[in-house]
């Protein structure tokens, strides 16, 4: 079995107009940049995207906005994107905001075959509008529905050709759940290793969830907010 | 002392040895600077990290190692990483002892508004709604009034809510106020601040414990 494809362009070639896509990452951390850039080259339109953020202007998913590929987006925080702001205000893009834990759990549920679940997040707020509220143990909870997608584009640190994945530090974020919740999951890995090199106890996404893989082009990791301490001299 | 520093220093006194704590962006993040050195407090960041260390030394920044404010941070001994689903399971499941957040408005029932202003662009709530709905103890650490000097502690929040009846404690540069079933109880005044002054900048009538000596009409 070998899930590794030659290029990101081949990996995204069948993503067509109107597809629903999950894209991993938190801010610019743990984002499948090569796959996004290949998708922008192919440029399918009328996409529905599910991702915590929407990149920043001119970077990551921000590139998809510039190319006019996205009709609707579901996420939890989109504060770093002026283009998205103007598109939402002009009615060019339908934005659905969910509490971040609800977004994560809805994707997890989608991958685990659970159609809906109850959470306390958002009770009594705008998020509750149109949703069933039920009381358990004297407390109110909202019914939230699972999320699934046609494709998930995820970013991992190491992977083998069987599709087993390991993530690095906080670049894990939404990637493992998204890998489980799409019909076709495409993983972009920084380093391809031989089957057996990854310790089975440490594998975070078992290969069954991953249909295709590519090896990322070497690139410097972008830091959104560089914060540091000055060294004593 | 800077107003924000006064608030952060006082909020740090709410920490207890062994606590697992989630800190929001802004003043809440500053609270970690004032935790006593002999106290072991573990910081959780909702993007998937337990055991958040200080900012890295210049040149050591790692793009894969950030906090929920997208700032580069470091690990401590025993740091663990996990997915966003696991992170919010930790929060929703009540495993985080204390959450400290900023606010635009808080009201006498402990309702909190801190995520959107109608008419302005909606940026999104991020993890705030999950955190406030599930924290075992929620502290709002904020300046007592708006930039125009208007009260932020109100009878009823006017902005869209982040959470319903969720706030336990309000810490400002003027006072510490506890949310109780009877109403807002003034618990502590910052040095040099009078109860009358706090009340004049707070919309709901405060409950004064015996000894504060405030006589308000």
Beta-carbon contacts of residue A179 (< 8 Å; ≥ 6 apart): A24, A111, A152, A154, A165, A185, A187, A205, A209, A210
With beta carbons less than 8 A apart as the criterion, state whether A180 and A211 touch: no
Digit-by-digit pLDDT tens for chain B (217 residues) are 799 999 999 999 999 999 999 999 889 999 999 999 899 999 999 999 999 999 999 999 999 999 999 999 999 999 999 999 999 999 999 999 999 999 999 999 999 999 998 887 779 999 999 999 998 999 999 999 999 999 999 999 999 999 999 999 999 999 999 999 999 999 999 999 999 999 999 999 999 987 776 554 3
Of B61, B84, B111, the CB nearest to A100: B84
CA–CA min distance A49, chain B (Å) = 16
What residue in B sits closest to A87 (Cα-Cα)?
A: B121
Q: Does A76 touch chain B (CB under 8 A)?
A: yes
Q: Does A170 touch chain B (CB under 8 A)?
A: yes
With beta carbons less than 8 A apart as the criterion, state whether A107 and A181 touch: yes
The catalytic residue positions of B are 46
| Mean of per-residue pLDDT scores for chain A | 96
pLDDT in tens, B195-215: 999 999 999 999 998 777 655
Q: Do A228 and B55 count as a contact with CB atoms less than 8 A apart?
A: yes
Distance between CA A174 and CA B85 in Å, rounded?
7
DSSP reduced 3-state for B209: coil
Q: Do A75 and B124 count as a contact with CB atoms less than 8 A apart?
A: yes
CA–CA min distance B190, chain A (Å) = 31
Q: Do A77 and B49 count as a contact with CB atoms less than 8 A apart?
A: no
Q: Does A124 touch chain B (CB under 8 A)?
A: yes
Instruction: Give this prediction's pTM.
Output: 0.96
DSSP reduced 3-state for A218: coil
Q: Do A226 and B72 count as a contact with CB atoms less than 8 A apart?
A: yes
Q: How many inter-chain contacts (A to B, CB under 8 Å) are there? A: 181
Q: Tell me the backbone φ, ψ of residue B22, rounded to 5 degrees.
A: -110, 125
Chain B CB contacts of A119 below 8 Å? 92, 130, 133
Chain B CB contacts of A107 below 8 Å? 85
Within a 10 A sphere around the Cβ of A115, how many other Cβ atoms?
9
CA–CA min distance A5, chain B (Å) = 25
Q: What is the pLDDT of residue B217?
A: 39
Chain A CB contacts of B81 below 8 Å? 167, 169-170, 172
pLDDT in tens, A116-152: 999 999 999 999 999 999 999 999 999 999 999 999 9
With beta carbons less than 8 A apart as the criterion, state whether B47 and A173 touch: yes
What residue in B sits closest to A85 (Cα-Cα)?
A: B121
Please measure the distance between the N-terminal and C-terminal CA atoms of chain B and give it in whole angstroms.
Answer: 32
Of B48, B62, B164, the CB nearest to A124: B164
């Amino acid at each position: 079995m070998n899930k590794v494809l030659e290029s990101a362009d081949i990996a995204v070639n069948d993503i067509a107009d109107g597809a629903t896509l999950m894209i991993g990452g938190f801010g610019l951390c743990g984002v499948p940049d090569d796959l996004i850039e290949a998708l922008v080259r192919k440029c399918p339109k009328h996409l529905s995207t599910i991702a915590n953020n929407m990149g920043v202007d001119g970077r990551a998913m921000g590139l998809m906005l510039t190319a006019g590929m996205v009709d609707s987006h579901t996420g939890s925080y989109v504060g770093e994107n002026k283009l998205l702001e103007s598109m939402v205000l002009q009615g060019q893009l339908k934005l659905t905001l969910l509490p971040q834990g609800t977004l994560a759990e809805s994707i997890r549920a989608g991958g685990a075959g659970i159609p809906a679940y109850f959470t306390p997040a958002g009770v009594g707020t705008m998020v509750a509008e149109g949703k069933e509220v039920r009381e358990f143990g004297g407390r109110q909870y909202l019914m939230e529905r699972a999320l699934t997608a046609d494709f998930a584009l995820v970013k991992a640190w190491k992977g083998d050709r069987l599709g087993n994945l390991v993530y690095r530090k906080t670049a894990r974020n939404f990637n493992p759940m998204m890998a489980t919740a799409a019909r076709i999951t495409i993983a972009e890995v920084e380093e391809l290793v031989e089957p057996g090199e990854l310790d089975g106890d440490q594998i975070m996404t078992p290969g069954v969830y991953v249909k295709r893989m590519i090896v990322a082009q070497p690139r410097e990791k972008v830091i959104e907010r560089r914060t540091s301490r000055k060294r004593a001299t | 002392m800077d107003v924000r520093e006064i608030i952060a220093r006082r909020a740090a006194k709410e920490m207890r040895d062994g606590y697992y704590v989630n800190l929001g962006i802004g003043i809440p993040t500053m609270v970690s600077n004032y935790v006593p050195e002999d106290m072991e407090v573990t910081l959780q960041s909702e993007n998937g990290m337990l055991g958040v260390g200080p900012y890295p030394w210049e040149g050591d920044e790692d793009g894969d190692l950030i906090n929920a404010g997208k700032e580069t941070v470091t690990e401590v001994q025993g740091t663990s990483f996990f997915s966003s689903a696991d992170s919010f399971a930790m929060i929703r499941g009540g495993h985080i002892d204390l959450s400290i957040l900023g606010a635009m408005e808080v009201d006498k029932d402990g309702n909190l508004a801190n995520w959107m202003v109608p008419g302005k662009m909606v940026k999104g709530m991020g993890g705030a709604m999950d955190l406030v709905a599930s924290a075992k103890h929620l502290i709002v650490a904020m300046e007592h009034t708006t930039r125009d000097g208007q009260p932020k502690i109100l009878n009823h929040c006017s902005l869209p809510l982040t959470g319903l009846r969720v706030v336990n404690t309000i810490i400002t540069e003027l006072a510490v106020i506890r949310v109780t079933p009877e109403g807002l109880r003034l618990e502590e005044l910052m040095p040099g601040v009078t109860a009358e002054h706090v009340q004049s900048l707070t919309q709901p009538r405060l409950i004064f414990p015996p000894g504060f000596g405030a006589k308000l009409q």
